[in-house]
Amino acid sequence: AAPKPYVYKYREGLNLHAEVSLLHNKSKKVTKGSTMYIAGETTKTGKLLTSKPCKSCTSLIVAMGVARVVYYSNGELEEINL
């Protein structure tokens, strides 16, 4: 069975990127060689937002051994191979 996707829910007053929230309690054994999918949406319209990881999150993603990141950008899925 496929693993259940992790869903980050924004809470009022909480400023934490989804990538950090996801990787915070994971071990490198779990994340090494994995693919991370990132998508964000507005709460008012549900429209998807560009979700390319920032430089700090990208550094964390690399440090945790993630091999590939797929994110939404301007109506298209983009990919970063690390």
Average pLDDT over residues 48-67: 92
Contact 15, 8 (CB under 8 A): no
Give the mean model confidence (pLDDT) for residues 21-35: 87
For residue 67, is pLDDT > 70? yes
Q: Are 37 and 70 in contact (CB under 8 A)?
A: yes
Q: What is the pLDDT of residues 38-57, one digit of tens each?
A: 888 777 888 888 889 999 99
